Copies of this chain bind each other. A is one copy, B any other.
């Protein structure tokens, strides 16, 4: 679904941004590229720990901040909860959050994007970024169906 980005590419990116390629960073980047979900810091910490017990939670936080700054990841705060991260893919998308399970489904609507632009323009603004989150629950199958 999301365009896979090789970890080697990330290392190149970090280098160009003037950062060092460290063991914790490699591990965290690997986890990010392999994650299909939107883990929060503690979850990333858990996954990283399973690879290298010595990685600290602070490093996870610091790394996420750095990766966000160079545009490698996006940070979300669904319903005011803890920050959850995902690798920035080439294509923008919004999120539908299953309020029962916490699952996150990605979607994109060019039409909505256009309308947003239109609205902002009418209000005299240029959109820098936006956040569209739908919170819902799985629809009960129509009776009669099956």
- Residues of the B chain whose Cβ atoms lie less than 8 Å from the Cβ of A1: none
Q: Give A14 Cβ to nearest chain B Cβ, in Å.
A: 24
Report A68-114 residues with CB < 8 Å from chain B CB: 75, 77, 79-80, 83, 96, 98-99, 105, 107, 109, 111-112
Which of A22-30, A31-39, A55-63, A130-138 lines the interface with chain B? A130-138
- Residues of the B chain whose Cβ atoms lie less than 8 Å from the Cβ of A130: 132-135
Other-chain residue from B115, B128, B136 in contact with A125 (beta carbon distance below 8 A): B136
Dominant SS at the A interface?
A: strand
| CB–CB A127/B123 < 8 A | no
Sample of 20 more A-B contacts, CB < 8 Å, known A77-B80, A105-B125, A120-B136: A77-B77, A77-B79, A96-B125, A99-B128, A109-B115, A109-B119, A111-B115, A112-B112, A112-B116, A115-B115, A116-B132, A120-B134, A125-B136, A125-B138, A127-B134, A127-B135, A127-B136, A130-B132, A131-B131, A132-B133
